[in-house]
Copies of this chain bind each other. A is one copy, B any other.
Amino acid sequence: MNSIQNYILEHKNRFLDELIELLKIPSISADSAYKTDVLKTADAVKLRLEQAGCDNVEICETDGYPIVYGQKIIDKNLPTVLVYGHYDVQPPDPINLWDSPPFEPVIKKTEKHPDGAIFARGACDDKGQMYMHVKAMEFMTSTNQLPCNVKFMIEGEEEVGSANLATFVKNNHNKLKNDVILISDTGMIANDVPSITTGLRGLSYVEVEVTGPNRDLHSGLYGGAVANPINILTKMIASLHDEDNHITIPGFYDNVEDLSTEERAQMAKAPFSLENYKKALDINAVYGETGYTTNERNAIRPTLDVNGIWGGYTGEGAKTVIASKAYAKISMRLVPNQDWENITQLFKTHFESIAPQGVTVKVTPHHGGQGYVTPIDSIGYKAASHAYQDTFGKAPIPQRSGGSIPIVALFEQELKSKTILMGFGLDSDAIHSPNEHFGVWNYLKGIETIPLFYKYFTEFSK
């Protein structure tokens, strides 16, 4: 299937120009000021899907931004791949830290991208990675090499929580029926170390409020005689981990899967330098749960982190006040089988139970999502693995990611099919940060690899 390489060579510049056009539209879903641009982007995606050979391409309205749907059904008896991606992007702030305007894409060489990288908001997350699938589709249809059925579902609210996607999926089981779901919205270890994300962590995010006296007090006149909400909050939060950094919430670990030594061994193959890791973060030591490596701690183990804390006087200088209230935002990363709503309830019950007399505690759940894992012996994973083997010259490493993509668990629940996360970005591509970029080599390598996934998935499904 060398023809894909020739095709890419031939159309490379157009592939880049089309992506750059797409990146110029500031489709910031979080900021209503950009509503017209987000809608304009949906129309652009619709047009590109049609040009790529999709039929029945439509703008599906939701209570929020629309979902662009398109499909190509060549044979009811062949397997169907559902491609998911999103056309909305994160806000570019802090804007002043960008070396070039976030919506004026430029191609610059970097150490990790000697062939150049496209710098723009959304370059990697997710316009660039989503568009690889559109171009791969164009290749397969225009050269009559599409081996199976394809469905595209490209949403415009991923960066704001996919609020309306769930409803759409629930109401369209038939339309979205598929044998495997393909997503490129994650990363890989390095250009010479391909990897496939096989696991995502779930999330439970809560906010806690500790209230002591009914008003701020003078710390001289009341200090030492009443419970200080800030002191109490620190005591309560500190008690959530023991000396081994195990989380002390009763029942927290009940459903945590113990990974097979085989998969832990597979994971350990990922090249990793603790020295470089510490150097990159300017820390003299890593820190975490006893008995697990750094890569295991942030991938296959659940965590509890305070994401924000505040209370009392935080201005310049000194104020001798005992605050009436103290607050914290706390998030727990969960592993597959931990139900986020159950964990949220366990946290609430426990946190309220450890509040000493003299204060009252309020726990407010923010949001959450389930974890997810793809078995590495599934047809989908094997097809992806073979595809990488062909284009990268080596088998990809299965990798658990510490992050969360709640919709993946939703897809499995609603559509009863597994998701394959074929990400071609790098951690250093600065998604969600200033100077986001996506390697030209990675963009083209993705376009080259995707058709092979279709080929192998169809073969293995026979």
Per the bound structure, the CA–CA distance linking A213 and B311 in Å amounts to: 23
Stretch at the interface among A43-51, A118-126, A284-292, A412-420: A284-292
Give the residue of B235, B359, B401 whose beta carbon is less than 8 angstroms from that of A220.
Answer: B401
A404 touches B (CB below 8 Å): yes
Knowing A313-B329, A333-B223, the reply to whether A320 touches B205 (Cβ < 8 A) is yes
Asked if A288 and B231 make an inter-chain contact with CB atoms under 8 angstroms apart, the answer reads no
Asked if B402 and A223 make an inter-chain contact with CB atoms under 8 angstroms apart, the answer reads yes
Give the residue of B231, B286, B305, B333 whose beta carbon is less than 8 angstroms from that of A237.
Answer: B231
Give the residue of B285, B307, B312, B317 whose beta carbon is less than 8 angstroms from that of A219.
Answer: B307
Chain A 304-338 near chain B by CB (<8 Å), digits 1 or 0: 01111111111101111111001111010100000
Asked if A319 and B333 make an inter-chain contact with CB atoms under 8 angstroms apart, the answer reads no
Stretch at the interface among A34-42, A60-68, A294-302, A380-388: A294-302
Q: Which one of A205, A207, A309, A356 has the highest number of Cβ atoms from chain B below 10 Å of its Cβ? A: A309
A96 touches B (CB below 8 Å): no
Q: Which residues of B contact A10 (CB under 8 A)?
A: none
Q: Which residues of B contact A227 (CB under 8 A)?
A: 283, 285-287
Give the residue of B238, B305, B314, B404 whose beta carbon is less than 8 angstroms from that of A322.
Answer: B305
Give the residue of B225, B306, B311, B320 whose beta carbon is less than 8 angstroms from that of A298.
Answer: B225
A333 CB, min distance to chain B CBs, angstroms = 5
Chain A 234-247 near chain B by CB (<8 Å), digits 1 or 0: 11011101000000
Asked if B306 and A310 make an inter-chain contact with CB atoms under 8 angstroms apart, the answer reads no
A281 touches B (CB below 8 Å): yes
Q: Which residues of B contact A109 (CB under 8 A)?
A: none
Q: Which residues of B contact A221 (CB under 8 A)?
A: 298, 401-403, 427
Cβ-closest chain B residue relative to A217? B281
A288 CB, min distance to chain B CBs, angstroms = 5
Knowing A238-B235, A308-B311, the reply to whether A357 touches B287 (Cβ < 8 A) is yes
Q: Which one of A307, A319, A322 has the highest number of Cβ atoms from chain B below 10 Å of its Cβ? A: A307
A258 touches B (CB below 8 Å): no
Knowing A233-B234, A403-B218, the reply to whether A287 touches B205 (Cβ < 8 A) is no
A282 touches B (CB below 8 Å): yes
Chain A 194-221 near chain B by CB (<8 Å), digits 1 or 0: 0000000101010100001111011111
Q: Which residues of B contact A201 (CB under 8 A)?
A: 220
Per the bound structure, the CA–CA distance linking A152 and B38 in Å amounts to: 74
A129 touches B (CB below 8 Å): no
Q: Which one of A207, A287, A326, A333 has the highest number of Cβ atoms from chain B below 10 Å of its Cβ? A: A287
Asked if B358 and A220 make an inter-chain contact with CB atoms under 8 angstroms apart, the answer reads no
A112 touches B (CB below 8 Å): no
Q: Which residues of B contact A362 (CB under 8 A)?
A: none
Asked if A323 and B308 make an inter-chain contact with CB atoms under 8 angstroms apart, the answer reads yes
Instruction: Give A contacts to B, CB under 8 Å.
Output: 201, 203, 205, 207, 212-215, 217-228, 230-231, 233-235, 237-239, 241, 281-289, 294-295, 297-298, 301-303, 305-315, 317-323, 326-329, 331, 333, 356-359, 366-367, 401-404, 427, 432
7 closest cross-chain pairs (CB), A and B:
A224-B303, A220-B403, A285-B357, A308-B312, A227-B287, A238-B238, A214-B282
A-B contact pairs, 24 of them (CB 8 A): A205-B318, A217-B281, A219-B305, A220-B402, A221-B402, A223-B298, A223-B305, A224-B288, A224-B303, A224-B305, A224-B333, A225-B298, A225-B402, A226-B288, A238-B239, A284-B357, A287-B356, A305-B322, A307-B323, A308-B314, A309-B309, A309-B326, A310-B311, A318-B329
